[in-house]
Structure 1
Amino acid sequence: MPPKKTTETEPAEPRRSGRIASISKPAPTVPEARPKVPKAPKKRAAEEETTEKDEGSTTKKSKADEAAMDVDTTAGSSTQAASLASIDIGDSLPSLILKNEKDADIQVEHLAKEKGVILFLVPKADTPGCTSQACGFRDSYPDFTSLNYDVYCLSADTPTAQTKWQTKKELPYPLISDPQRVLITALGAAEGGKTKRSHFIFEKGGKLVDKKVPVKPADSPRLALEYIKGQK
């Protein structure tokens, strides 16, 4: 009999135990831990933030202080100006610098140094009533100067407005600008941000001897001239 063929089989791979398999299994790769970058301490960051805020606050406060100082200074000046003593009969012209229609400084105290002075006050330049009053003093101007009196128009108008009015109506006397109504208030002719039509007569040397508050436009120059003539 022919010999039996033997079936060749691949040798069976040795069976690994579960324990060995688990040991042989490669371990999962663990990502390499990166070195931690130290963060700025919260306290320090907070301090820096606070410092920045404080610096900003300081800057704002500084500007606010400057503004307050400006306001205080202005308020102080206004208060000082507004506190000019009231002027009544027997009182003298105050030491105060205002502008004339040419925008030049004038010292009010010196107006009556050489002659008597008439100050007539108008509410607003180049308006009907004020023009009537101003033209009345214009027409009587030679009479006042012959009696050794100077005439001045006082109002809260700007020098520019006064110059236009002076040129338009050919007013021969100077005009005084008192935009803050400092002298006007001291004379008792300011009311509710307006000027009362009036006139004031100061004798030579600066003493107030007569006043009319209020007065009608046409009456003002006539009454002023009558008073001065009555003193001669």
Structure 2
Amino acid sequence: MELKVGDRIPNFVAKDMDGNDFDSQNYVGKKPLVIYFYPKDNTPGCTAQACSFRDQYEDFKDLGAEVIGISSDSIESHHKFAKQHKLPFILLSDNDKKIRKLFGVPSNMFGLLPGRVTYVTDRNGEVKMIFDSMMATKHIPKALEAIKHLVK
């Protein structure tokens, strides 16, 4: 099942890049979320995307939103990736791909690559925008624009 605009994001739990438990229920109902799924830490596109979210992170925070990156990489990989690129937002390890399946994130390139999809939800967890594109840096302005519309 693929999430669509108007759906509520499913509840999920995962480990963050520091090995701490993350529960989506601690965020839904409190703030808008930008949840982005990406293929792999330290690849050119994923690094460009993460660094673009980093560079605009204060803009998202100023609008009251939280940014969360999710891939199937290990906690250790996320920790190194976040430290190396000074990423101020949450990275979650989805090594069993359960969260990816919950959201219905499609694979790209004949199923060889995990998809790159960004979801923007309002504070109540309702999906307001879905952007599916392998063009890594295009996600940030789309997500920021969607958040700006939510907080008007």
* Partner of residue 171, structure 1: 87
Q: 2:60 aligns with which of 108, 131, 144?
A: 144
| 2:36 equivalent to 1:120 | yes
Identity %, equivalent residues: 28
Say whether 1:155 aligns with 2:71: yes
Q: Structure 1: 5+ residue runs without aligned partners? A: 1-84
When the two structures are superposed, what TM-score results if normalisation uses the length of structure 1? 0.60
RMSD: 1.6
State the partner residue of 1:93: 9
The residue number in structure 2 matching 1:197 is 116
More contact order relative to length (CA 8 Å, sep ≥ 6)? 2
More helix by share: 1
Name the structure 1 match of 2:148.
Answer: 229
Q: What's the CA shift for 1:211?
A: 0.6
Partner of 2:18: 102
* Cα offset, 1:91, TM superposition: 1.8
- Which structure's residues are more often strand, by fraction? 2
- TM-score with structure 2 setting the length: 0.89
Does structure 1 conserve the Cα–Cα contact (< 8 Å) formed by 2:128 and 2:146? no
Amino acid at match of 2:89: Y
8 Å Cα contact 2:35-2:70 kept in structure 1 = yes
Superimposed CA distance per residue, residues 118-140 of structure 1 (whole angstroms, 9 cap, x where no aligned partner): 01111000111000000000000
Residues 126-185 of structure 1 show CA distances to partners (whole Å, capped at 9, x for unaligned) of 111000000000000010011110001111111100000000000000101111211112
Question: Which of the pair has more CA radius of gyration?
Answer: 1
